[in-house]
Structure 1
Amino acid sequence: MSTTPPLGVTLAFFDAFIASNGGEAAFVGLTTAQVSTSFLMPTTAATKLSLVEQLKNDPCVQPARYFVSHAWKYFFLDVLESLRLFFVDKPIADHIVWFDLFCNSQHDTTIKPFSWWTTTFRSSIGAIQNVIMVLLPWDRPIPLTRAWCVFEIFATVSTKSAFHVAMTRAETERFADHVSVDTFYDMLGHVKSEACEAFRPEDKAQIAAAIVDAIGFTAMDNMVFQVFGAWMATTLQAKIASTSNVLQANWQLKLGSLCQAQGKFADAERLIDAAVATKKLCAGHDAAETLIAMERLATLYNEQGQFARAEEVLRHCQLGWEKLGHAETAPAAIIALETLATTLQNLGKFDDAEAIYVKCIAHRQQVSGDNHESTLVCKCNLATLYEERGEYRKASPLLTECLAASIATLGPDNPRTLTLKNNAAANLNYLRHFDAAAALYVECLNDSERLLGGDHPSTLATMNNAAANFAAHKKLTDAEALYTTCVERSKRVLGPEHPSTLKTINNLASLLREAEKTDAAEVLFQEALAISTKVLGPSHPNTLTTMSNLGRMYEQVGKLDAALALLVPCLASRRQVLPPEHPCIAKTILSVALLFEAKHEFTAAEPLLREYCALQTRLLGATHPETIFGRFTLAEHLVKSHALEDAEAIFLECAASALPTFGPSAPETKHFESAVEVFYLNRSQTSMKAKEWGDAARDLAALEAFGTTHPLSARATDALRVLKQHLPVGAPHKVASSTG
């Protein structure tokens, strides 16, 4: 490939060309394609050369400094205005561009082989090392729908050339007013290199083949996204450097939000912190724009697991909006309220969070409508709350409704749609519809890799969820392979100490524990625990999760003392940092109680089991599956500690609660009913051996009564008949011995 830049033209050349063809008035409303037909081709008709070759001795024809990528559908004058604006702050010596209209012959283009065009574009870009893409409109750019322009991006990256963007003044101002993470990803959500068009169908087919041979469409799309992500960051950094005070803070918020979306949390916190400080100084602590910036900071805290800090910031925001008198009406106040609901959910304050979500949904529906993006997001958040409370069927219709509406209104490739699809797959997983969940996860993962790239934090999150689905489906080998890939990418992209990396290591270790690869699991758990303790602190929720998982693994392999050494302090720390009714506290209470029971320390186990049951009843209700199983565990414990009357009452409660919860024929219901049968039969046999005939008769009568509402199994029916035959006639009560 030649390292000598091809000839290009100065901006003055454009002016001379326009002047020689009737002036600007003659070009108004003409696309570049029309300019070629009306003015360029007649000018070069005699020589059949490019205009640059025809005028190569003109002082305006010089080695190009920039390659211009643009769509021929653009108005020619818009392209020129964009270039003038791009070069306004650059030395005049750099105002020389390779512009295909002038630099390629426009005659007999159809007879040139495809390889000539690809070689020309790629070699020109490689030699020039600078590409300007004219982006109009910036959020729906035509070049990203044109096959040749996408090929030029491929050439830009593959030749390690610099990438720049040029826009008209009006479009530059619109970019400044509307740029955000959402609009940026919305723009990228409409990019599909495979669907790009070309004037000639054969060009499209050959460009597609070239891309497939080189890197494939998924990698090509990712390349486009990486290029534009870097452009966005560079543009925002330049805005920050050239402004001050509140305006600078606004740009810091935009760049901080982009960094947050990319998983660059340290950069995001630095930028957003600086923006909040500037807003407080310049506008006041309770000014609307300050409160908006603080909500952004709270969102970042939530993503970092700093839930208490997030709640503190949001409570201040809530008071600030109340002082301004806009707590119930301002859109930004409603956003802060939704973020508060999410924070409370993270803290396990589910009832408070649900009340706020319901309030926000009603407001969104009234103001924006049922299918507006903001309404869908709020409904989805409410669905995740239901799932966290174990109410998976209650969440399912909400998620189905939201996903269908998002596809219809935002499009299948919008990041919001991908998130909703991911959440719908998770719900299917919770409902044990594993095959349907797996199919949807594969779709999510393919879309995320194509749109965001295989290393994007959102893609890694989807990969994590897909691996969890494999694990739930007992496809442990597939789950291990996917988790391993996810860990490797997370370490490379986010770093070995990033919270997301640590979560993935923890998940892989949990999978290995389930696969009984406990030695490998222990190594990973200890690695994650050590790093998490150092980076996040010993009381961070993520640290405590890993500590709990390692403790449970020790319990699994019979290392009860090692398990207690982790789980007892884990419970103490969770009681300190989480609200008293947080689900994680309940789970840890149960784990510690069962460990004490396994060590036959019944006195230590019983109060914890009773606390767990009371907590689950308050959190989930008396008929929730987890509550029923918790009470059943308590009943089994009471049998072991010989508190039989208490055990009897709880066994009966479990069987009664199972009927409406699971159904009369469900395995869970049969399990509880069988436990009642075994309890009465065993106790009656014990009484008979002690010749306590009255107690035996009472238990057998109780079993018969139980059978009127819970049909007895054949085994229990036969045993009951046999035992009744062994009762003495009249079944006398127990005879007390005489002391006289």
Structure 2
Amino acid sequence: MATPSAPPDRGLRLSYLRHFINEHGGEAEFAGKTTAQVCFEFVVPLTKPSELSLVDHVANDPMTASFVGPANWYVSHAWQYLFLETVDSLERFFADRDLSDDAVLWFCVFNNNQHLASSYPFEYWSTTFKDSLAAIGNMVMIMHPWNDPIVLRRSWCVFEVYVAVTMGARFEIALAHDQEATFLSDITIYNAFSKMLATIKCEDSVATVPSDRDGIFTLIRAETSFIAVDRLIFSTLTHWIKQTLEASIASASSSLEKASRWRYLGVIHDALNDHAASERCFQAAVTLFLAAHGPLNEETLLLQSLAAFARAYQRTPQSEWEPRLRSTLSTALQHLGETHPTTLAARSNVVSSLCHNDAHAEALPLALEDFDVRRSLYGLCDWRTMSAMSTVGLVYVSQHEAYRASRWLRKALGLQVTHLCREHNDTIGTKSRLVDALLQMGDGVQARALAESVVASRARTYGATHPRTVACRINLAASVLMTGDAALASAQMLALTTTLGADDPTRLAVQLNLGVAYAMQAQWANALASFIDAFASAPCKVTAWLLYGFAVHAPLPVSKKGLTLVRDFIISSSDAQPETWPTRCMACYTPVTGTLRPSRLMRFCQHDPKETTWKMTLPPRRYFYEADLCATETAHYDDIDGLFAAYERHCDMHNDQRTLDAFLAAMPTPMLSRALIALQDLVATPDTSLLLDWPTIVLRRAPALASTMANLRSLLPLQPSLSAVAVSGTDLVYLGPLAAMTTAMTVVFCSDQTTDLAWTHWVRDFGRRCPRLRVLEIRASVGDNLGLIQPLLDILAYPALRLLSLRGDFLLDVASIAVLHAWLERGGDRGLRLDGTQFADAADPLLYNALHTIRSFVEFRVRNVRGLSWLLPALRSASQLRTLDLSGHGSLCPNAIAALLPHWPHLQTLDLSRNRFDSYHDVVPLMSAMGQCPMLRHVVLQQCKLPQSVISPLLGCISAWPSLRRLDLACTGLYLPARAFRAMVTALVACPDFAFLSVCFPLLTDAMWRDIVPTLGAGLLRWRRITFSECQPTAVQVLQLLRRLLEHNQQAFTVTCGTISSADALQNEYTGLLHELGLLPPPRASCVVAFEVEV
């Protein structure tokens, strides 16, 4: 029976290997035999009598027992290796270290009992190897061939490296003499080192027994990682490569051979990111080649380019390397030609150096040129062309053209995976650049998958703390953060902070991302600390604006502290682009200017975007302007005006009127209330027909009412577009901040007070202060009879102007009509209103022709104009007409209007108010013609005397107008009985957009009022104006209506309540009502109450 195998701490001396060979016939008998063959042909037969391991067998023989001793080196090798190569590797390894006499080897072929090996389970072998190596403490691995070691394809050999890692054992490698010669020959092949790194991946190893592989992998994953195992091999093999090259330099027989070795050693240092060492090596080679071949030799030029390239990658001043790079490229082009490999390499080095030093615009044309030349020379599938493609992608990434970069990088990556391999250094580099592009695009999911594989490869090749690995780890954490896993991202970035030194430039990106991760988890204090640390370490626009972006949305007191720091920085620093964020749009990749809203992220959002409310963020400087303006509750108006003027100048300087408009539309209560009071002397009685669709507060000639309305405004949010009235020449400064909100303006033109020059200056100031003006009404003061040639030339220059109204005794001559015609021909939606205007005799046909030729004419309002019958037929060609206002003409022929209506299929507003119809009998056919205009939205028949017979066709028309919004039947003499009123309301409630109703009642009693409100039903909840003419509701009745509106309405609305003879009566009648408003429930949503009282 065989006895147990020798204890793992016993082994055979190195000298026994040569004794063993000689005892079995010398090297000739072993030539070409693998270790496995030697085992079964020599070891097993030798130990057959004792059935012991060879170590035990030798120890039991007194003649050979001296070869046995305590093992001090554990040998790891593959049984596929040639036995003589293994012996040669070990003899060379120990001889180089002067350990030949002391080395006692634990060699599995000799130490394990080969007669019982097949009967032992996995647990026995794993324990044996682990215990033996742990006790010995030194391991040497045989690496054949040097660039694709067979030993690393065997799982048991990988297991031995794993034990070395977990036990902290010394790990060395040994190569045979012929392998060193092969290495020195192979290393001259470009990319040989990168190809070698790509082949080493222990996770791809195999075992003869598949269950052994599974057991080994389970142990490795439980106690360490394949990355750690690979890293130990990489570092050891890299050390051997550098040592071997340095030794070959010392022993080189010629200066050219020595120069060549310096070059390849520089390439190794460059691949390891040690650019200072690579520059030293390249410069040494340059010196030797210059002496041997002069400055125009291809090798000299290549090495000069490489030395400058290494200098550039150390981030030295551009003047220290760019001239050398460009000079070398120019010389190579001149003496070697464009397609010579040295020229190609020199151009590539220029591109890479420029990119590394952020000169991307200079690099792009050279990169594209380099790719074109390489593609024409080598085709797409050559590694040199693929590398050029990847470089082009890198340049586009650096220029923030992510979509274009991703196309280049995806193409390059696909080719590199196919023709190089997944783990090749070039492939991993391209994959890393693609991660950058995906992060710019906001695609965190794809970026994360790629980043994980890149980090694993970089950590295995360079180590976890190498700069290349750290950069990839930062990208991985950023992609994890972008996918929403803030907890994991913060853990990854905390691990990075312990790795990076306080002065490491990459630490800033980690701190900023960590702040974002904390903020996503509502860890406000930690987030603030991270952003402040980043700002303190690098106080610049990037860190300040990111701190602001966090603080402006954080809760108090976190936000206050952060905003204070940012405000101090903004005040103390200059910024030529205060509206431009230090970030780029995810759709077009240009710098974001103005208000920031990350809507592009919704494309990659994993949750339902309908449930997401994105926050909008003002640039810091504008935020502080608006914060100061909002904090002016007790400030004097002059102070407010000064603040607003500063803000207005800022917005004008940076072409940002829209933001100013948005701020004014949401202006805070105290500031707006004082501005409203300041307006009271300017506001007169505008034509409310211009204001129907705008939430509006109109202040009439009652100062007491103005203050009361301001009190009402303080109860409810207000977002008005204002209509203002001013006398020409009035100082518009009194409009204050409300000027920018003004979209409609009435100007009372006084010829006796306004010279042409003064008018011109006033108009220009008016246009600057009211840039949103779309509706302009010019009124002639009483007694004026004017031509408007010069004023029109200035007024019609406003770009936003779409509707012009002339009211009063204006005399339009030929020149005035020409100006009007030119304005109408500009295109777009144009409208013209003439009220009381007179025409010179020669102007009539000109106006007719002007109206007849404008096909896109959309709005025409004519009141109190003589000879309207000759003008209306000119509008037959205005097929786009949407508004026709013939109110106040006095007398109209219903049949003439009915005949024209079919020509205007898009008509939306028809106003025939204050007209006498020639015959009641013609009104019913007119009503029928109106029923054929399905797009009508506003029907105004106010003060038209209508017969009761039109009630039935009118109710029929309402059902034919699905978009009806306003119906005005006030003062028509058409009195609706309760049944007819209910029928009308029922029809109007079916119109989803209906909002304004004016009807007539002979008497409005409390009983009838109580009946009206329920009758309106659901329609009342969306209606915005109800006018009860020829009656006067009491304050209690109005309060009942307002209470219902406030309880349910979510839009603006207006209540107009008849007429009152004096301002005093107005104030007395409604004072109690306005006090009662304080008892009303708050609105369910932001809405506007515009309480208008006609005086």
TM (normalized to structure 1)?
A: 0.71
Report the equivalent of 1:111: 119
Instruction: Tell me the CA shift for residue 76 of structure 1.
Output: 1.5
**Does residue 1:9 correspond to 2:13, yes or no?**
yes
Q: Is the 8 A contact 2:742 2:773 kept in 1?
A: no
* Match 2:374 to one of 334, 356, 364: 364
* Match 1:484 to one of 469, 494, 504: 494
**Does residue 1:162 correspond to 2:170, yes or no?**
yes
Distance 2:110 2:18 in 1: 13
* Match 1:548 to one of 538, 541, 553: 541
Report the equivalent of 1:138: 146
Distance 2:290 2:460 in 1: 41
Report the equivalent of 1:186: 195
Q: Within 5 A, what are the aligned runs for 1:284-683?
A: 287-306=297-316, 308=318, 309-322=320-333, 325-345=335-355, 350=360, 352-449=362-459, 453-470=463-480, 472=482, 479-489=489-499, 491=500, 495-505=501-511, 508=514, 519-529=528-538, 547-553=540-546, 557=563, 559-560=566-567, 562-563=569-570, 565-568=572-575, 633=656, 683=771
Distance 2:653 2:354 in 1: 26
Report the equivalent of 1:32: 35
Three-state SS of the structure 2 residue aligned to 1:67 is: strand
Distance 2:887 2:352 in 1: 62
Which one is further off, 451-460 or 359-368? 451-460
Closer/same/farther in 2, CA of residues 454 and 347 from structure 1, 3 Å limit: closer
Query: Aligned partner of 1:370: which letter?
Result: L
Q: Is the 8 A contact 2:481 2:489 kept in 1?
A: yes
Q: Within 5 A, what are the aligned runs for 1:67-82?
A: 67-82=74-89
Q: How many residues align?
A: 627
1:541-561 CA deviation, whole Å, 9 max, x = no partner?
Answer: xxxxx6231343576537445
Report the equivalent of 1:174: 182
Q: Is the 8 A contact 1:547 1:567 kept in 2?
A: no
Which one is further off, 400-409 or 293-302? 293-302
**Does residue 1:100 correspond to 2:222, yes or no?**
no
- Greater share of strand residues, 1 or 2? 2
Distance 1:679 1:236 in 2: 80
Report the equivalent of 1:200: 209
Report the equivalent of 1:210: 219
Q: Is the 8 A contact 1:222 1:449 kept in 2?
A: yes
Q: Is the 8 A contact 2:515 2:528 kept in 1?
A: no
Instruction: Tell me the CA shift for residue 47 of structure 1.
Output: 0.9
Query: Aligned partner of 1:550: which letter?
Result: T
Report the equivalent of 1:699: 801
Report the equivalent of 1:83: 90
Distance 1:588 1:248 in 2: 57
Distance 2:288 2:82 in 1: 42
Three-state SS of the structure 2 residue aligned to 1:93 is: coil
Instruction: Tell me the CA shift for residue 175 of structure 1.
Output: 1.2
Distance 2:242 2:474 in 1: 27
Report the equivalent of 1:44: 47
Distance 2:246 2:202 in 1: 28
Three-state SS of the structure 2 residue aligned to 1:381 is: helix
Query: Aligned partner of 1:364: which letter?
Result: R
Q: Is the 8 A contact 1:413 1:451 kept in 2?
A: no
Instruction: Tell me the CA shift for residue 129 of structure 1.
Output: 3.5
Distance 1:723 1:680 in 2: 19
Which one is further off, 693-702 or 382-391? 693-702
Query: Aligned partner of 2:327: which letter?
Result: H
Distance 1:137 1:728 in 2: 104
Distance 1:726 1:427 in 2: 62
Closer/same/farther in 2, CA of residues 24 and 523 from structure 1, 3 Å limit: same
Distance 2:887 2:317 in 1: 64
Higher relative contact order (CA 8 A, sep 6+): 1
Report the equivalent of 1:613: none
Instruction: Tell me the CA shift for residue 394 of structure 1.
Output: 2.7
1:309-331 CA deviation, whole Å, 9 max, x = no partner?
Answer: 342331232144246x2252332
Q: Is the 8 A contact 1:445 1:462 kept in 2?
A: yes
Distance 1:212 1:586 in 2: 45
1:33-89 CA deviation, whole Å, 9 max, x = no partner?
Answer: 111112221121111122332222424444445332211111222222323333444
Q: Is the 8 A contact 2:193 2:268 kept in 1?
A: no
Q: Is the 8 A contact 1:683 1:699 kept in 2?
A: no
Query: What residue ranges of structure 2 are gaps of 5+ in the alignment?
Result: 1-5, 550-562, 579-588, 597-617, 626-644, 664-739, 745-769, 780-790, 804-822, 831-857, 860-879, 890-1095
Query: Aligned partner of 1:196: which letter?
Result: S
Distance 1:246 1:604 in 2: 70
Distance 2:661 2:264 in 1: 59
Closer/same/farther in 2, CA of residues 186 and 684 from structure 1, 3 Å limit: closer
Distance 1:50 1:19 in 2: 20
Three-state SS of the structure 2 residue aligned to 1:55 is: helix
Query: What residue ranges of structure 1 are gaps of 5+ in the alignment?
Result: 530-545, 572-583, 610-631, 641-676, 709-715, 730-740
Instruction: Tell me the CA shift for residue 284 of structure 1.
Output: 5.1
1:667-717 CA deviation, whole Å, 9 max, x = no partner?
Answer: xxxxxxxxxx99987646477377688537971068993469xxxxxxx99
Distance 2:293 2:660 in 1: 62
Instruction: Tell me the CA shift for residue 302 of structure 1.
Output: 4.2
Distance 1:216 1:283 in 2: 50
Three-state SS of the structure 2 residue aligned to 1:688 is: strand
Larger radius of gyration: 2
Q: Is the 8 A contact 1:589 1:608 kept in 2?
A: no
Instruction: Tell me the CA shift for residue 282 of structure 1.
Output: 6.8
Query: Aligned partner of 1:200: which letter?
Result: V
TM (normalized to structure 2)?
A: 0.50
Instruction: Tell me the CA shift for residue 146 of structure 1.
Output: 0.8
Three-state SS of the structure 2 residue aligned to 1:48 is: coil
- Greater share of helix residues, 1 or 2? 1
Distance 1:201 1:127 in 2: 28
Which one is further off, 87-96 or 419-428? 87-96
Closer/same/farther in 2, CA of residues 414 and 551 from structure 1, 3 Å limit: same
Distance 1:723 1:474 in 2: 53
Instruction: Tell me the CA shift for residue 286 of structure 1.
Output: 5.3
Closer/same/farther in 2, CA of residues 89 and 42 from structure 1, 3 Å limit: same
Query: Aligned partner of 1:207: which letter?
Result: I
- RMSD over equivalenced CA pairs, Å: 4.8
Three-state SS of the structure 1 residue aligned to 2:101 is: helix
Closer/same/farther in 2, CA of residues 80 and 471 from structure 1, 3 Å limit: closer
Three-state SS of the structure 1 residue aligned to 2:475 is: helix
Q: Is the 8 A contact 1:467 1:479 kept in 2?
A: yes
Q: Is the 8 A contact 1:221 1:451 kept in 2?
A: yes
Closer/same/farther in 2, CA of residues 678 and 407 from structure 1, 3 Å limit: farther
Distance 2:778 2:546 in 1: 43
Distance 1:727 1:348 in 2: 69
Report the equivalent of 2:159: 151
Q: Is the 8 A contact 2:313 2:356 kept in 1?
A: no
